[in-house]
Homo-oligomer: A and B are copies of this chain.
Amino acid sequence: MQNFTYHNPTRILFGAGQIGSLRREVPQGVRILLTYGGGSIKANGVYDQVKKALAGFDLLEFGGIEPNPTFEYLMKGVELARQEKVEFLLAVGGGSVVDGTKFMAAAVPYQGNEWDLVGRHIAPRSALPLGAVLTLPATGTESNGNAVVTRAATREKIAFSSPLLFPRFSILDPETTFTLSSRQVANGVVDAFVHTLEQYLTYPADAPLQDRFAESILRTLIEEGPRTLADPTDYNARANVMWCATQALNGLIGAGVPHDWATHAIGHELTAFHGLDHAQTLAIVLPNLLWVQRTPKREKLVQYAERVWEIRQGTEAVRLEKGIIATRAFFEAMGNPTHLSAYAVGEERFPEIAERLEARKALPLGERKDITREKVLEILALAR
Protein backbone atom coordinates (compact mmCIF):
# COMPACT_ATOMS: atom_id res chain seq x y z
CA MET A 1 0.00 0.00 0.00
CA GLN A 2 1.19 3.51 -0.76
CA ASN A 3 1.34 6.21 1.92
CA PHE A 4 -1.61 8.58 1.88
CA THR A 5 -3.46 11.37 3.63
CA TYR A 6 -7.23 11.01 3.80
CA HIS A 7 -9.39 13.87 5.00
CA ASN A 8 -12.99 14.45 4.06
CA PRO A 9 -14.68 17.00 6.32
CA THR A 10 -18.00 17.27 4.42
CA ARG A 11 -21.06 16.46 6.50
CA ILE A 12 -23.53 14.36 4.49
CA LEU A 13 -27.23 14.53 5.28
CA PHE A 14 -28.82 11.71 3.34
CA GLY A 15 -32.44 10.83 2.75
CA ALA A 16 -35.95 12.00 2.04
CA GLY A 17 -36.87 15.26 3.73
CA GLN A 18 -33.32 16.31 4.59
CA ILE A 19 -33.68 19.66 2.82
CA GLY A 20 -35.62 20.71 5.91
CA SER A 21 -32.29 20.49 7.81
CA LEU A 22 -30.87 23.42 5.83
CA ARG A 23 -31.83 25.88 8.56
CA ARG A 24 -29.47 24.17 10.97
CA GLU A 25 -26.64 23.70 8.47
CA VAL A 26 -26.17 27.15 6.94
CA PRO A 27 -24.49 29.79 9.12
CA GLN A 28 -26.74 32.20 11.00
CA GLY A 29 -26.87 35.92 10.35
CA VAL A 30 -24.87 36.05 7.12
CA ARG A 31 -25.84 36.81 3.54
CA ILE A 32 -26.20 33.64 1.50
CA LEU A 33 -26.03 33.33 -2.28
CA LEU A 34 -28.20 30.52 -3.61
CA THR A 35 -26.78 29.23 -6.91
CA TYR A 36 -28.54 27.00 -9.40
CA GLY A 37 -28.76 26.00 -13.03
CA GLY A 38 -31.29 26.25 -15.79
CA GLY A 39 -34.36 26.15 -13.64
CA SER A 40 -35.14 22.44 -13.27
CA ILE A 41 -35.18 22.96 -9.49
CA LYS A 42 -38.09 25.33 -10.01
CA ALA A 43 -39.99 22.73 -12.02
CA ASN A 44 -39.44 19.86 -9.59
CA GLY A 45 -40.15 21.66 -6.34
CA VAL A 46 -36.63 21.63 -4.91
CA TYR A 47 -36.34 25.42 -5.19
CA ASP A 48 -39.52 25.84 -3.15
CA GLN A 49 -38.30 23.37 -0.53
CA VAL A 50 -35.03 25.28 -0.17
CA LYS A 51 -36.75 28.66 0.03
CA LYS A 52 -39.17 27.32 2.61
CA ALA A 53 -36.37 25.82 4.71
CA LEU A 54 -34.50 29.13 4.63
CA ALA A 55 -37.46 31.47 5.15
CA GLY A 56 -36.22 34.55 6.99
CA PHE A 57 -32.59 34.11 5.94
CA ASP A 58 -30.80 36.83 3.96
CA LEU A 59 -30.83 35.05 0.62
CA LEU A 60 -29.70 36.25 -2.80
CA GLU A 61 -29.83 34.20 -5.98
CA PHE A 62 -27.61 33.45 -8.95
CA GLY A 63 -29.19 31.07 -11.45
CA GLY A 64 -28.49 30.01 -14.97
CA ILE A 65 -25.28 28.07 -14.37
CA GLU A 66 -25.01 25.86 -17.44
CA PRO A 67 -23.74 22.28 -17.85
CA ASN A 68 -19.94 22.48 -18.19
CA PRO A 69 -20.08 25.86 -16.47
CA THR A 70 -18.02 28.59 -18.07
CA PHE A 71 -15.55 30.89 -16.43
CA GLU A 72 -17.15 33.75 -18.30
CA TYR A 73 -20.62 33.19 -16.86
CA LEU A 74 -19.43 32.30 -13.38
CA MET A 75 -17.55 35.60 -13.17
CA LYS A 76 -20.94 37.34 -13.17
CA GLY A 77 -21.74 35.44 -10.02
CA VAL A 78 -18.35 36.32 -8.55
CA GLU A 79 -19.02 40.01 -9.15
CA LEU A 80 -22.47 39.75 -7.62
CA ALA A 81 -21.08 38.00 -4.54
CA ARG A 82 -18.39 40.65 -4.12
CA GLN A 83 -20.81 43.52 -4.60
CA GLU A 84 -23.33 42.13 -2.18
CA LYS A 85 -20.75 40.97 0.35
CA VAL A 86 -22.02 37.41 0.31
CA GLU A 87 -20.50 35.21 3.02
CA PHE A 88 -21.85 31.75 2.19
CA LEU A 89 -22.65 29.98 -1.08
CA LEU A 90 -25.40 27.39 -1.31
CA ALA A 91 -25.31 25.36 -4.52
CA VAL A 92 -28.56 23.62 -5.45
CA GLY A 93 -28.28 21.34 -8.46
CA GLY A 94 -26.01 18.81 -10.12
CA GLY A 95 -22.27 18.59 -10.57
CA SER A 96 -22.05 21.60 -12.83
CA VAL A 97 -23.79 23.89 -10.37
CA VAL A 98 -21.67 22.66 -7.47
CA ASP A 99 -18.44 22.85 -9.48
CA GLY A 100 -19.28 26.35 -10.72
CA THR A 101 -20.05 27.41 -7.17
CA LYS A 102 -16.70 26.03 -6.00
CA PHE A 103 -14.99 28.20 -8.58
CA MET A 104 -16.92 31.20 -7.30
CA ALA A 105 -15.98 30.32 -3.71
CA ALA A 106 -12.30 30.44 -4.60
CA ALA A 107 -12.55 33.40 -6.98
CA VAL A 108 -14.50 35.84 -4.78
CA PRO A 109 -11.63 36.52 -2.33
CA TYR A 110 -8.89 36.00 -4.96
CA GLN A 111 -6.87 39.04 -5.90
CA GLY A 112 -5.51 38.50 -9.35
CA ASN A 113 -6.63 36.93 -12.60
CA GLU A 114 -9.30 34.50 -11.48
CA TRP A 115 -8.72 32.13 -14.42
CA ASP A 116 -5.29 31.39 -12.97
CA LEU A 117 -7.04 29.39 -10.21
CA VAL A 118 -8.05 26.96 -12.96
CA GLY A 119 -5.73 27.38 -15.91
CA ARG A 120 -2.52 27.78 -13.89
CA HIS A 121 -3.67 25.71 -10.90
CA ILE A 122 -2.85 28.48 -8.42
CA ALA A 123 -3.81 27.17 -4.95
CA PRO A 124 -6.34 29.49 -3.33
CA ARG A 125 -5.38 30.74 0.14
CA SER A 126 -8.95 31.32 1.15
CA ALA A 127 -12.42 30.59 -0.14
CA LEU A 128 -15.98 31.38 0.79
CA PRO A 129 -17.58 28.48 2.65
CA LEU A 130 -20.15 26.55 0.66
CA GLY A 131 -22.84 23.94 1.08
CA ALA A 132 -24.72 21.88 -1.48
CA VAL A 133 -28.12 20.36 -2.15
CA LEU A 134 -27.33 17.72 -4.75
CA THR A 135 -29.99 16.83 -7.31
CA LEU A 136 -27.98 14.73 -9.79
CA PRO A 137 -25.75 11.93 -8.53
CA ALA A 138 -22.66 11.60 -10.73
CA THR A 139 -19.49 13.53 -10.10
CA GLY A 140 -18.90 13.14 -6.38
CA THR A 141 -18.36 16.91 -6.15
CA GLU A 142 -20.74 16.97 -3.16
CA SER A 143 -18.02 15.39 -1.06
CA ASN A 144 -14.67 16.44 -2.48
CA GLY A 145 -12.62 19.56 -3.19
CA ASN A 146 -12.58 19.12 -6.98
CA ALA A 147 -14.26 21.13 -9.71
CA VAL A 148 -14.13 21.40 -13.49
CA VAL A 149 -14.63 24.71 -15.28
CA THR A 150 -14.63 25.56 -18.97
CA ARG A 151 -13.26 28.71 -20.58
CA ALA A 152 -15.56 29.37 -23.50
CA ALA A 153 -13.17 31.77 -25.22
CA THR A 154 -10.46 29.16 -25.60
CA ARG A 155 -12.63 26.01 -25.40
CA GLU A 156 -10.62 24.70 -22.47
CA LYS A 157 -12.22 22.41 -19.88
CA ILE A 158 -9.93 22.03 -16.88
CA ALA A 159 -10.14 20.37 -13.47
CA PHE A 160 -8.79 21.98 -10.31
CA SER A 161 -8.87 21.08 -6.64
CA SER A 162 -8.36 22.54 -3.18
CA PRO A 163 -9.00 21.30 0.35
CA LEU A 164 -10.76 24.66 0.90
CA LEU A 165 -13.47 23.65 -1.57
CA PHE A 166 -15.02 20.69 0.22
CA PRO A 167 -18.65 21.63 0.89
CA ARG A 168 -19.27 22.19 4.62
CA PHE A 169 -22.33 20.02 4.18
CA SER A 170 -24.17 18.31 1.37
CA ILE A 171 -27.80 17.28 1.39
CA LEU A 172 -28.56 14.19 -0.69
CA ASP A 173 -32.27 13.51 -1.00
CA PRO A 174 -32.91 10.73 -3.54
CA GLU A 175 -36.42 12.09 -4.15
CA THR A 176 -34.92 15.18 -5.79
CA THR A 177 -33.64 12.87 -8.56
CA PHE A 178 -37.04 11.39 -9.50
CA THR A 179 -37.51 13.98 -12.27
CA LEU A 180 -34.12 13.49 -13.97
CA SER A 181 -34.17 12.38 -17.59
CA SER A 182 -32.93 8.90 -18.49
CA ARG A 183 -29.96 10.53 -20.17
CA GLN A 184 -29.00 12.38 -16.99
CA VAL A 185 -29.35 9.21 -14.90
CA ALA A 186 -27.33 7.16 -17.37
CA ASN A 187 -24.63 9.81 -17.50
CA GLY A 188 -24.43 9.82 -13.72
CA VAL A 189 -24.06 6.05 -13.50
CA VAL A 190 -21.37 6.02 -16.20
CA ASP A 191 -19.50 8.90 -14.56
CA ALA A 192 -19.42 7.16 -11.16
CA PHE A 193 -18.45 3.86 -12.80
CA VAL A 194 -15.53 5.45 -14.65
CA HIS A 195 -14.36 7.37 -11.56
CA THR A 196 -14.18 4.03 -9.80
CA LEU A 197 -12.33 2.30 -12.63
CA GLU A 198 -9.78 5.10 -12.91
CA GLN A 199 -8.73 4.46 -9.31
CA TYR A 200 -8.92 0.66 -9.63
CA LEU A 201 -7.78 -0.51 -13.09
CA THR A 202 -4.11 0.38 -12.71
CA TYR A 203 -1.57 -2.03 -11.24
CA PRO A 204 -1.72 -4.10 -8.03
CA ALA A 205 -0.61 -2.24 -4.91
CA ASP A 206 -1.33 -4.91 -2.27
CA ALA A 207 -4.33 -2.89 -1.13
CA PRO A 208 -7.11 -5.50 -1.08
CA LEU A 209 -9.62 -3.42 0.88
CA GLN A 210 -9.43 -0.54 -1.58
CA ASP A 211 -9.84 -3.05 -4.43
CA ARG A 212 -12.89 -4.62 -2.83
CA PHE A 213 -14.46 -1.25 -2.03
CA ALA A 214 -14.05 -0.30 -5.70
CA GLU A 215 -15.54 -3.63 -6.82
CA SER A 216 -18.43 -3.03 -4.41
CA ILE A 217 -19.28 0.27 -6.08
CA LEU A 218 -18.99 -1.24 -9.56
CA ARG A 219 -21.22 -4.23 -8.80
CA THR A 220 -23.79 -2.03 -7.12
CA LEU A 221 -23.91 0.38 -10.08
CA ILE A 222 -24.31 -2.57 -12.46
CA GLU A 223 -27.32 -3.75 -10.43
CA GLU A 224 -28.87 -0.44 -9.49
CA GLY A 225 -28.25 1.49 -12.73
CA PRO A 226 -30.81 -0.45 -14.79
CA ARG A 227 -33.15 -0.59 -11.79
CA THR A 228 -33.17 3.19 -11.48
CA LEU A 229 -33.82 3.61 -15.22
CA ALA A 230 -36.67 1.12 -15.09
CA ASP A 231 -38.59 3.00 -12.41
CA PRO A 232 -37.63 6.65 -11.82
CA THR A 233 -39.51 6.73 -8.51
CA ASP A 234 -37.86 3.64 -7.02
CA TYR A 235 -36.49 5.42 -3.95
CA ASN A 236 -33.99 2.79 -2.87
CA ALA A 237 -32.56 2.39 -6.37
CA ARG A 238 -32.04 6.15 -6.59
CA ALA A 239 -30.59 6.20 -3.08
CA ASN A 240 -28.14 3.42 -3.90
CA VAL A 241 -26.91 5.07 -7.10
CA MET A 242 -26.57 8.36 -5.25
CA TRP A 243 -24.49 6.85 -2.46
CA CYS A 244 -22.32 4.97 -4.99
CA ALA A 245 -21.56 8.19 -6.85
CA THR A 246 -20.46 9.89 -3.63
CA GLN A 247 -18.22 7.00 -2.61
CA ALA A 248 -16.70 6.78 -6.08
CA LEU A 249 -14.93 10.11 -5.72
CA ASN A 250 -14.66 11.15 -2.09
CA GLY A 251 -11.05 10.02 -1.65
CA LEU A 252 -11.87 6.66 -0.07
CA ILE A 253 -11.17 4.13 -2.81
CA GLY A 254 -8.21 6.09 -4.12
CA ALA A 255 -6.36 6.21 -0.79
CA GLY A 256 -3.05 4.36 -0.99
CA VAL A 257 -3.34 3.15 -4.61
CA PRO A 258 -2.23 4.44 -8.03
CA HIS A 259 -4.64 6.47 -10.19
CA ASP A 260 -5.19 6.77 -13.93
CA TRP A 261 -7.13 9.87 -14.97
CA ALA A 262 -6.37 9.57 -18.68
CA THR A 263 -9.98 8.86 -19.67
CA HIS A 264 -11.11 12.06 -17.98
CA ALA A 265 -8.31 14.09 -19.55
CA ILE A 266 -9.12 12.92 -23.08
CA GLY A 267 -12.86 13.18 -22.42
CA HIS A 268 -12.57 16.81 -21.31
CA GLU A 269 -11.11 17.70 -24.70
CA LEU A 270 -14.05 16.05 -26.45
CA THR A 271 -16.52 18.01 -24.34
CA ALA A 272 -14.70 21.32 -24.67
CA PHE A 273 -14.33 21.04 -28.41
CA HIS A 274 -17.29 19.00 -29.55
CA GLY A 275 -19.89 19.63 -26.87
CA LEU A 276 -20.47 16.01 -25.84
CA ASP A 277 -21.84 15.39 -22.34
CA HIS A 278 -19.06 14.56 -19.91
CA ALA A 279 -20.19 10.96 -19.36
CA GLN A 280 -20.73 10.42 -23.07
CA THR A 281 -17.02 11.09 -23.59
CA LEU A 282 -16.07 8.68 -20.82
CA ALA A 283 -18.18 5.88 -22.29
CA ILE A 284 -16.39 6.41 -25.60
CA VAL A 285 -12.83 6.72 -24.34
CA LEU A 286 -12.65 4.20 -21.51
CA PRO A 287 -13.27 0.84 -23.25
CA ASN A 288 -10.78 1.74 -25.96
CA LEU A 289 -8.22 3.01 -23.49
CA LEU A 290 -8.50 -0.27 -21.57
CA TRP A 291 -7.91 -2.19 -24.77
CA VAL A 292 -4.86 -0.13 -25.73
CA GLN A 293 -3.52 -0.44 -22.18
CA ARG A 294 -4.43 -4.11 -21.75
CA THR A 295 -0.81 -5.20 -21.27
CA PRO A 296 0.26 -2.77 -18.51
CA LYS A 297 -3.17 -3.16 -16.86
CA ARG A 298 -3.32 -6.94 -17.32
CA GLU A 299 -3.39 -8.08 -13.69
CA LYS A 300 -6.11 -5.70 -12.61
CA LEU A 301 -8.15 -6.26 -15.79
CA VAL A 302 -8.20 -10.01 -15.10
CA GLN A 303 -9.23 -9.38 -11.49
CA TYR A 304 -11.92 -6.96 -12.68
CA ALA A 305 -13.33 -9.46 -15.18
CA GLU A 306 -13.54 -12.14 -12.51
CA ARG A 307 -14.73 -10.22 -9.49
CA VAL A 308 -17.02 -7.67 -11.12
CA TRP A 309 -18.31 -9.59 -14.15
CA GLU A 310 -17.82 -13.17 -12.85
CA ILE A 311 -15.84 -14.13 -15.96
CA ARG A 312 -13.88 -17.22 -14.97
CA GLN A 313 -13.59 -19.25 -18.20
CA GLY A 314 -10.81 -19.08 -20.78
CA THR A 315 -7.26 -17.81 -20.88
CA GLU A 316 -6.27 -14.57 -19.17
CA ALA A 317 -6.32 -12.82 -22.54
CA VAL A 318 -9.85 -14.04 -23.20
CA ARG A 319 -11.16 -13.14 -19.76
CA LEU A 320 -9.57 -9.72 -19.91
CA GLU A 321 -11.15 -9.01 -23.27
CA LYS A 322 -14.53 -10.26 -22.09
CA GLY A 323 -14.33 -7.85 -19.15
CA ILE A 324 -13.75 -4.92 -21.49
CA ILE A 325 -16.59 -6.07 -23.74
CA ALA A 326 -18.90 -6.34 -20.73
CA THR A 327 -17.98 -2.78 -19.73
CA ARG A 328 -18.82 -1.50 -23.19
CA ALA A 329 -22.08 -3.45 -23.21
CA PHE A 330 -23.02 -1.97 -19.83
CA PHE A 331 -22.50 1.59 -21.06
CA GLU A 332 -24.52 0.84 -24.21
CA ALA A 333 -27.30 -0.79 -22.18
CA MET A 334 -27.48 2.34 -20.01
CA GLY A 335 -27.99 4.30 -23.22
CA ASN A 336 -24.48 5.68 -23.74
CA PRO A 337 -22.95 4.93 -27.16
CA THR A 338 -19.29 3.96 -27.06
CA HIS A 339 -18.28 5.25 -30.49
CA LEU A 340 -17.64 8.79 -31.67
CA SER A 341 -19.58 8.09 -34.84
CA ALA A 342 -22.76 8.34 -32.74
CA TYR A 343 -21.94 12.02 -32.25
CA ALA A 344 -20.57 12.82 -35.72
CA VAL A 345 -17.07 13.57 -34.48
CA GLY A 346 -14.81 12.68 -37.39
CA GLU A 347 -11.25 11.38 -37.29
CA GLU A 348 -9.96 14.56 -38.89
CA ARG A 349 -10.25 16.13 -35.40
CA PHE A 350 -8.11 13.57 -33.60
CA PRO A 351 -4.70 15.22 -34.14
CA GLU A 352 -6.06 18.45 -32.70
CA ILE A 353 -7.18 16.66 -29.52
CA ALA A 354 -3.75 15.15 -29.02
CA GLU A 355 -2.12 18.49 -29.71
CA ARG A 356 -4.25 20.25 -27.15
CA LEU A 357 -3.28 17.72 -24.50
CA GLU A 358 0.33 18.17 -25.49
CA ALA A 359 0.10 21.96 -25.37
CA ARG A 360 -1.35 21.66 -21.85
CA LYS A 361 1.67 19.53 -20.87
CA ALA A 362 -0.83 16.81 -19.86
CA LEU A 363 1.04 14.05 -21.74
CA PRO A 364 2.06 11.36 -21.06
CA LEU A 365 -1.03 10.29 -19.09
CA GLY A 366 -1.90 7.24 -16.99
CA GLU A 367 -0.74 5.55 -13.79
CA ARG A 368 2.59 4.71 -15.42
CA LYS A 369 2.82 7.89 -17.50
CA ASP A 370 2.92 5.74 -20.62
CA ILE A 371 -0.10 7.10 -22.49
CA THR A 372 1.72 9.14 -25.08
CA ARG A 373 0.44 11.23 -27.97
CA GLU A 374 0.61 8.10 -30.14
CA LYS A 375 -1.51 6.12 -27.72
CA VAL A 376 -4.08 8.92 -27.47
CA LEU A 377 -4.40 8.79 -31.25
CA GLU A 378 -4.69 5.00 -31.14
CA ILE A 379 -7.45 5.21 -28.51
CA LEU A 380 -9.36 7.78 -30.56
CA ALA A 381 -8.92 5.73 -33.74
CA LEU A 382 -10.45 2.71 -32.01
CA ALA A 383 -13.28 4.93 -30.78
CA ARG A 384 -14.35 6.04 -34.27
Contact = CB atoms under 8 A, between A and B. Distances in A.
A252 to B, nearest CB: 8
B216 A220 contact: no
A10 B8 CA distance: 8
Contacts of A252: 252
A111 interface: no
A209 B5 CA distance: 24
A7 B15 CA distance: 15
A254 to B, nearest CB: 13
A206 B1 contact: no
Interface of A: 1-18, 206-210, 212-213, 215-217, 219-220, 223-224, 236, 239-240, 243-244, 247, 252, 255-256
Contacts of A236: 1, 206-207
Given A6-B11, A6-B14, A213-B216, A1 B208 contact: no
A1 B213 contact: no
A370 B380 CA distance: 60
Given A7-B11, A8-B8, A212-B220, A243 B1 contact: yes
Given A6-B14, A209-B240, 7 more contacts: A6-B11, A7-B9, A207-B240, A210-B243, A213-B213, A215-B216, A239-B256
Nearest to A209: B220
Given A208-B240, A216-B209, A12 B6 contact: yes
B212 A216 contact: yes
20 contacts: A1-B15, A3-B16, A3-B18, A4-B12, A6-B11, A6-B12, A7-B12, A8-B8, A14-B256, A15-B256, A208-B219, A209-B243, A209-B244, A212-B212, A212-B215, A212-B220, A213-B213, A213-B216, A216-B216, A239-B256
A7 B171 CA distance: 12
Given A206-B240, A209-B240, A14 B18 contact: no
**Which of A13, A206, A208 gathers the greatest number of chain B CB atoms within 10 Å?**
A208
A209 to B, nearest CB: 5
Contacts of A3: 14-18
A213 to B, nearest CB: 5
Contacts of A8: 8
